[in-house]
Structure 1
Amino acid sequence: MTRVEGGAQAIDLAVEPFGWLLLVIFIVGYYFIAAEEKYHINKAKPALFTGTFMFMLLGGYYAVNGLDFSSFDVEIAHLILEIAEIFFFLFVAMTFIEALIERNVFDALKEKLLSSGYDYKKLFWVTGFLAFFISPVADNLTTALILSTVLITIERKNKAFLVPAAINIVVAANAGGAWSPFGDITTLMAWSAGKGTFIDFLFLFPSSILGWGVTAFLLSRFVPDGTPTKIEGAEPVHIHKGGKVIIFLGVLTIASAVLGKQLMHLPPMWGMLFGLSLLQLYAYTLKKYHDHDIQIYKSVAKVENDTLLFFFGILAAVGALHFAGFLAHAAHLYTMFDPTYVNIGVGFLSAIVDNVPVMSAVLKASPDIPLAQWMLVTLTAGVGGSMISFGSAAGVGVMGKLKGVYTFGAHMKYSWTIVAGYFVSVAIWYTQYEVLGLYIKPVAKAVTGH
């Protein structure tokens, strides 16, 4: 049984024993990814092995059976392009964050919160607000790690404050990342795949902020009264020379990525790499003329390679399932059921599995759904992971920072507040997109004959 793949004939392995072997390998590999804490193995290792091994088997199957490699070559070329776009985008974003950390930008923010004298309830709202508005630029994981560090610095023992505040940061970071292509890997994937323009994703802002707002309001009812003990005699923290310029260069880099994608048809990574070149040139001038070394190459070296390799592996594994034909069958769900219900289910699935492979699978299945539905699946995949503590990178990161405090059990105690916010987000989406039509509708292209 064959199907057309990239203009070439491909074997539908989903009905073959070999195809089911690939599916078993994927499931086993994903088990070890999900059980990272149990086996103390970084998830990048099983992800990279699974993704590369599945394609080695596919290539071997085609070679042994003397099959036409045209469709295989097309799949590999598309996959390399897709992974390269995400890989280099994340590489530059993480380098900028490391450079800002080195220049004390985030330490200065932390110091301001520490010296503010806010009570627990104000700190709850301020850290959540910051998480929501920093994550669209700095990404949800980095934002959650920075602000959870602030929490544990302010208060180490009061779990009644720490648990709701940690959950609030995770939910806010994921919700903030959902409406910006820079805030969450799933949103970046959808933007890179051309499922919407940069402006289209900004229209998810009402759904994101109101959904988080409902969860935050419900969580705030459990935050205790009182004020944390103020740290006396702490040295004021100042941003090192060049830190503010790097913030400006970061904004310019984002603008380059957006304009390059929307106006010049360049992949987002191109504008990001242009921004990295500006950062490197600025580091050179700062060192030569002001004798300030921001150690840009050390910042590049500190970029977490495991994170990048995890994305390579998991995207390759999902690509193998797509090439084998499994995702074409999964796409039939969108014709069997109302796409709205399927996309709501995607949010729950992303909480259990992980939003990256789920979103990758949806994009590769590429169901024939309108822009409004692509925005819904971006929203649900982005915020759905908040419902379970290990359902998002932000949640896993905060669990590591607040060990013994922010746990699976502590999170699930308040998970009903997150589910409530999730359905509010969906309700706002439905009202905005389906009832009021408040979004930019794509212009239908005229069909011309030849």
Structure 2
Amino acid sequence: MFKVLLSFLLCSVAAFASGGSATSEIPDLTMTWIGFASLIIFVIGYYFVAAEEKYEIDKAKPALFIGTFIFILIALYYAINDLDMDLVHVQAQHLILEIAEIFFFLFVAMTYIESLIHMNVFDKLKYNLVTKGYSYRKLFWVTGFIAFFLSPIADNLTTALILSTVLITIEKKRKDFLVPGAINIVVAANAGGAWSPFGDITTLMAWTAGKGVFTDFLYLFPAAIGGYLITAFLLSKFVPTEKPEFDASKEEVPVMAEGAKVVMGLGVFTIFCAVMSHQVLHLPAMWGMMFGLSLLKVYSYGLNRRHGKEHFNIFHSMAKIENNTLMFFFGILAAVGGLYFIGWLALASHVYSPDVLGPTWSNIGVGFLSAIVDNVPVMSAVLKANPQMGLDQWMLVTLTAGVGGSLISFGSAAGVGVMGKLHGIYTFNSHMKYAWTILIGYIVSISIWYIQYEVLQISHYGS
């Protein structure tokens, strides 16, 4: 549901282009000293994010610095040059709204995950998987398929967080299993979300913009699963074939805490509330998430009344949340918002124009750009540019913008979430070691799209 939440960013981003007379007068600062300075700061900051393992610096630190510093410099530029400071204020308000919605959405999702960990739900799942005698390689495939088919219902971030937690409980040390397994989950979650209007921000943005009806996006399933299967097949060759060391006779069978099944049910209902909040009630998706958190708090009160205060303390779950992941998102969204305000992302949309590269190559390039920057502003720029394209090309850019984030570890919400869960194990460098397998899968996805839409013309409106 993280992707559903991000759809609300459309309202904020649209304001950059058409939100009234104030935003229509925003000056283009790309070719000024503040424009170049901000771009350089962004690139340097991203370097330290990528080199997290080399410098032993948490990725949230450089991200938070560049996000806050860029906007401070923009405000100083406006003040020095006697420009309209109200523009800065309005854009900052929009940015705060975006970040707050994402922050609270993630906060609730992570609270539920930590609560389920506390109640031994994932230990039970791990025990059930391992006691079946599955090898590392079979566990690799099982977690991947679960991620692919869970992501369209939930979202890529929540799916990746849940399954990476399962992964680290199965094995805590063997990187030859954990790294390919983590990449597999990220790729599967992103690919799975690409063919559902609710599974990925790119599909939701295109759907709400009227670029296709609900069923049109379901036709992306062959391209999504085809590319994933190729990547997973190549990755599986690096996964050990032996079974995890596990003696069931010496291990205590995990018992889920009283009320765990209800908490799982509340988690599903919370996701439902997030969808309904956005789709039906026209509230931000985080509103439904926060309502779900309130239900969890009420239920925890009842559990404490029946089983004692130490049975389940929701504030202990909150205390274990990966705050560095939240701070990373704050910094990156602030930095991207600053670059958008200056005009760099609008410039990128001109580069994307079909008059330059043509629709197919431009849309393929969107996938690579979304991995480096972020698929939200990139897809927004494409939609605002609104090039004259048919359904086939709109489905292609939806696919590439959604799946392309897998090419770099921090290129998608799923990748960032897994980096937080497998800190020091799943890193930028470990991801790039196997990035060629993802690139091959990306090419296969595009090839399947081409055969389906251009050769066979199989689509909702196709013959």
- TM-score bracket, shorter-length normalisation: 0.7 to 0.9
Matches of 1:399 and 1:92, distance apart in 2: 16
Which residues in structure 2 correspond to 1:420-439 (within 5 Å)?
Answer: 420-430=440-450, 436=457, 438=459
Amino acid at match of 1:32: F
Tell me the residue number matched to 1:282: 299
Work out whether 1:217 is the aligned partner of 2:233: yes
> What is the SS of the residue equivalent to 1:238?
coil
Matches of 1:142 and 1:382, distance apart in 2: 18
Deviation at 1:104, TM superposition (A): 1.0
Change (3 A) 1:139 1:262: same
Matches of 1:440 and 1:297, distance apart in 2: 51
Tell me the residue number matched to 1:323: 341
Change (3 A) 1:372 1:108: farther
Tell me the residue number matched to 2:439: 419
Amino acid at match of 2:317: S
Deviation at 1:87, TM superposition (A): 1.6
Deviation at 1:210, TM superposition (A): 2.6
Tell me the residue number matched to 1:6: 19
Amino acid at match of 1:332: H
Matches of 2:175 and 2:74, distance apart in 1: 53
Work out whether 1:311 is the aligned partner of 2:329: yes
Tell me the residue number matched to 1:294: 312
Q: Deviations over 1:223-270 (max 9, x none)?
A: 565545442421111211111111111111111111221122111111
Work out whether 1:267 is the aligned partner of 2:276: no
Change (3 A) 1:97 1:340: farther
Tell me the residue number matched to 2:164: 145
Q: Is the 8 A contact 2:103 2:330 kept in 1?
A: yes
Work out whether 1:111 is the aligned partner of 2:103: no
Q: Is the 8 A contact 2:161 2:421 kept in 1?
A: no
Which residues in structure 2 correspond to 1:190-269 (within 5 Å)?
Answer: 190=205, 204-220=220-236, 227-232=243-248, 233-269=250-286
Give the alignment partner of residue 360 of structure 1, picking from 372, 377, 391. 377
The root-mean-square deviation of aligned C-alpha atoms, in Å, is 3.7
Amino acid at match of 1:288: R
Tell me the residue number matched to 1:386: 406
Task: Tell which deviates more after alignment, 4-13 or 134-143.
Answer: 134-143
Give the alignment partner of residue 56 of structure 2, picking from 40, 43, 65. 40
Task: Tell which deviates more after alignment, 110-119 or 284-293.
Answer: 284-293
Structure 2 unpaired stretches of 5+? 1-15
> What is the SS of the residue equivalent to 2:26?
strand
Matches of 1:254 and 1:268, distance apart in 2: 9
Work out whether 1:58 is the aligned partner of 2:74: yes
> What is the SS of the residue equivalent to 1:264?
coil
Matches of 1:440 and 1:246, distance apart in 2: 42
Tell me the residue number matched to 2:34: 18
Task: Tell which deviates more after alignment, 432-441 or 10-19.
Answer: 432-441
Matches of 1:86 and 1:199, distance apart in 2: 27
Q: Deviations over 1:364-391 (max 9, x none)?
A: 5643156765654453344334345665
Amino acid at match of 1:420: I
Matches of 1:39 and 1:360, distance apart in 2: 29
Matches of 2:334 and 2:346, distance apart in 1: 16
Work out whether 1:348 is the aligned partner of 2:361: no
> What is the SS of the residue equivalent to 1:11?
coil
Q: Deviations over 1:261-295 (max 9, x none)?
A: 11221111111111111111111112123436321
Matches of 2:265 and 2:86, distance apart in 1: 46
Q: Deviations over 1:184-233 (max 9, x none)?
A: 6x559948986889877666444332321232334445656554544242
Q: How many residue pairs end up in the alignment?
A: 431
Amino acid at match of 2:443: F
Matches of 1:228 and 1:29, distance apart in 2: 39
How many percent of aligned residue pairs carry the same amino acid? 55
Deviation at 1:145, TM superposition (A): 2.4
> What is the SS of the residue equivalent to 1:210?
helix
Structure 1 unpaired stretches of 5+? 442-450
